[in-house]
Structure 1
Amino acid sequence: MTLTALPHRPPTTVAPPRPALPARLWHAAGPALAVYAGALVLHLALLAVMITRPGRTLTDRLTAWDGRHFLEIAAGGYPDAYTYTPDGELTGNNLAFFPLFPMLVRAVHAVTGLSWSAAGIVAAQLALLAALVTVHRLVSRLRTRRTATATLVLLAAAQPMSLVFFMAYSESLLLATAAATLLAAHRRAWPAAGLFAFLAGLTRPAGVAVVAALGVAALLELRRERRLLPGPVAATALACTGTPLYLWWVGRRLGDADAWFTVQQAGWGTRWDWGASLGEFLLRTLHTGEGWVPVSVAVLVLAHLLGTALAIRRPGWPPLAVYGLTVVVLTLAQSNYYHCKPRLLAPALLFLLPAADALARARRGTRIAVLGGASLFGCWYGAYLLTAWPYAI
């Protein structure tokens, strides 16, 4: 009797059960939802307490200043001519504001039937929620999940002027489109990356930072593959059309190719000056020490520069560094109102990562204490500028 060897079969392995859908959703969006809810409650509570002037409400404050321009565009569209003062002097108008956020407000108004003010606030909340979820996923891929959660708290509550993300402003939408672009590029989902970068270009002038970041990501991909790939090239080409398309439309509407720049400078005095006005502001303010808001803005600008420098020194993913650095340069190298600088820097993201990394390594008690104290200050600072400070933010 001969024994016939049976064929060798590898041991079977049973794949671990896939988590239920609610668990997967919470893992993906839970930290962002929790941070959003906590930051929203803290922002609104402090803002409500600090509103003391008669006739002012939470809705009024959350739609103040630039928010009113966005709501006017959503409700009535853009003007079709230059605007002049009663003395015949050229002034700014709503054409200075890019169209994507008003389009979102109009969509929310059409779907929900809310008032224009409420629709503007809701639109900002939707954009912020999308931004926080996407930022958490992006930073989790680039760093750790703990760093990502700390980044969300710093972003939505602790950094001064984080309140702007909850207002009817377009910063939350810029952050959402920027984070979505970077995440899609990191995953090599080039059609999505190109689309989101195109939308960023229609959101704010700083959308060019998103386009630059996508361009760097595309170059890295071409270099890695050592051949010309249609995906990255097409995505970058699409991204480059967003801002020029709106500028062209404004120029065609007013019959002047430089119309948008003319409106912007006439209304807000914004021009490229290589940081000369900022340098003068910092030297004057730090020398005299006059005024709580000027001094605090000067300190915050320096803190942003320090955080950005520390982030760039650490090896990381170049497109994120390009995005953050470009936002910082665009904000600080132009001659606009100094008290708007913290708001314009808020979506830069990059400068928060060194602090988030340090907090992720700290003990749990230390992390909670630091983030809690910083959030109280950040939310208070935004509420102060929105209630006691008489000028636009």
Structure 2
Amino acid sequence: MTVTETTTAPAKIWDKAGGWQGVGTAVGILALTRVGQLLMIWWLGGATSEPRSVWDRLLVWDAGWFLRVAMDGYPHGYTYENGVLQGNELAFFPVYPMLIRFAAAIGFTPSTAAVLISWIASIGAAVALHLLGTSLYSKRAGWALVAICCSAPASVVLSMAYSESIFLALVAGMFVAAHRRAWWAAGLLGLLTALSRPTGAAAALGLGVAALIAVREIWKSENRIAWQPITAAAAALAGVPLYIGWVAWRVGDLDAWFKIQTAGWGTTFDYGSSTIKFLNTTLRTGDGWVSISIALMLLVALAAAGVALTQKPWLPLAVYGVVAMILVYGQAGFYHSKPRLLLPVLLTLLPAVVAASKARPRVAILSIVAWAAFGLWYGAYLVTVWPYTL
């Protein structure tokens, strides 16, 4: 089945023909990227003035927020310091911290639980990415998608106590289920995706498009309304409003979640003006090589997305990618977090994935190894030498 072909018959996610025979290779590719990155973190960390173990570096920045949610729960209102509104734990969506809390309840230390869940979710992400690439293109494309995504410059977060592993596994799994018409799985994964990160709203829209396509095809062929895809899409679309609404109820203020995000991280939607200002200032003044590299990554990602759209990818994945990129580029906030936020978008990776799947094996492997060498080193540098948050 090609990326543009569809079927109205329900499919099984676990069909061997759907790519399960290559899952072991996909997990092996993930393992190589993770071990390689941990070694780089160890190597680079030994040259810094601040001696910290590799383990400690996996538990920095946002990890502390997730651990506090997991162990202490969410606050009941706003947090102030000297009368000034601050960010607090209500900004963080619940799926990942609730998994940490569950693992801690059965005997793991919270920090061990946080990293272990991230690693297990990374395996799930590798499996789902391989199945997605196989469903849309070919088995080689599935492997290429795993290798390119899991060695990207921001892929270091797949080893850290961050929610990207969970989100990537859920969103890729959701699209696999939707493409194979396993709507019960698509709906469940879509709801969990939407309860994992704010960009779950973009994923839910993508699932909604997949559901509309299925409903239209079933109506044309069988003259009946298909309720399963509609229910799946409704479940996913409800996720982000449910959490934001719950925060509003808990705090007693309708736009509480947005105020907390703005106060803590400056992540207001400004239609891209902050991103444009960052690109203009950075590329004109050359203020630091990391800033310049991030500016170039943002521009390359835009170009890659444009190329991907000309190749007419599967429409639900395209809609998700475009909406997610609008959210990332359109909001203010820490510029150095944007590559991390773009990691699960997938649309930007499709041109490279398609090219690698069609190239001679030796060329594809050498190209991906070169990409991985830079990407894994870059991520290790950011969590060891560079002093700012991801």
1:92-146 Cα shifts (integer Å, max 9, x gaps): 01110000000111222233x2221111111111111111101111110110111
CA distance in 2, matches of 1:183, 1:356: 17
Q: Residue 241 of structure 1: SS of its match in structure 2?
A: helix
CA distance in 1, matches of 2:311, 2:50: 50
Matching residue of 1:218: 211
Of the structure 1 ranges 227-236 and 25-34, higher mean CA displacement relative to structure 2 is found in 25-34
How far 1:25 moved relative to its partner? 9.8
1:168-201 Cα shifts (integer Å, max 9, x gaps): 1111111111111111111111121111111111
Matching residue of 1:67: 63
Matching residue of 1:12: none
How far 1:26 moved relative to its partner? 7.0
297, 301, 305: which one pairs with 1:300?
A: 297
Matching residue of 1:266: 263
Residues 187 and 287 (structure 1 numbering): CA distance in 2 closer, same or farther, change over 3 Å? same
Structure 1 residues without counterparts, runs of 5 or longer: 1-20
How far 1:74 moved relative to its partner? 0.9
324, 327, 341: which one pairs with 2:324?
A: 327
Alignment of 1:238-387 (within 5 A): 238-387=235-384
1:225-256 Cα shifts (integer Å, max 9, x gaps): 22421111111111122111111211111111
Matching residue of 2:7: none
State yes or no: 1:88 paired with 2:116: no
Structure 1 segments of 4+ aligned residues over 3 angstroms from their partners = none
Matching residue of 1:134: 128
Q: Residue 84 of structure 1: SS of its match in structure 2?
A: strand
How far 1:298 moved relative to its partner? 0.4
State yes or no: 1:78 paired with 2:74: yes
CA distance in 2, matches of 1:208, 1:62: 27
CA distance in 2, matches of 1:292, 1:104: 37
Q: Residue 240 of structure 1: SS of its match in structure 2?
A: helix
Q: Residue 75 of structure 2: SS of its match in structure 1?
A: coil
Amino acid at match of 1:33: V
How far 1:55 moved relative to its partner? 4.2
Amino acid at match of 1:351: T
1:252-273 Cα shifts (integer Å, max 9, x gaps): 1111111111111111111111
Alignment of 1:194-213 (within 5 A): 194-213=187-206
8 Å Cα contact 1:127/1:176 also seen in 2: yes
8 Å Cα contact 1:174/1:200 also seen in 2: yes
Matching residue of 1:119: 113
CA distance in 1, matches of 2:133, 2:20: 17
Of the structure 1 ranges 266-275 and 235-244, higher mean CA displacement relative to structure 2 is found in 235-244
CA distance in 1, matches of 2:328, 2:44: 29
Matching residue of 2:159: 166
State yes or no: 1:97 paired with 2:96: no
Matching residue of 2:10: none
1:192-221 Cα shifts (integer Å, max 9, x gaps): 111111111110000001100011001111
How far 1:34 moved relative to its partner? 0.5
- TM, length-normalised to structure 1: 0.91
8 Å Cα contact 1:59/1:118 also seen in 2: no
State yes or no: 1:57 paired with 2:42: no
8 Å Cα contact 1:59/1:117 also seen in 2: no
CA distance in 1, matches of 2:239, 2:287: 42
How far 1:78 moved relative to its partner? 1.0
CA distance in 2, matches of 1:177, 1:122: 17
Matching residue of 1:188: 181
CA distance in 2, matches of 1:141, 1:343: 25
8 Å Cα contact 2:87/2:263 also seen in 1: yes
Amino acid at match of 1:199: L
- TM, length-normalised to structure 2: 0.91
How large is the RMSD of aligned CA atoms in angstroms?
1.8
How far 1:336 moved relative to its partner? 1.1
Q: Residue 78 of structure 1: SS of its match in structure 2?
A: coil
8 Å Cα contact 1:178/1:197 also seen in 2: yes
139, 150, 154: which one pairs with 2:148?
A: 154
Amino acid at match of 1:203: S
Which structure: larger Rg?
A: 1
Matching residue of 1:15: none
Matching residue of 1:14: none
CA distance in 1, matches of 2:127, 2:139: 12
8 Å Cα contact 2:19/2:135 also seen in 1: no
8 Å Cα contact 2:20/2:131 also seen in 1: no
8 Å Cα contact 2:19/2:134 also seen in 1: no
Amino acid at match of 1:106: R
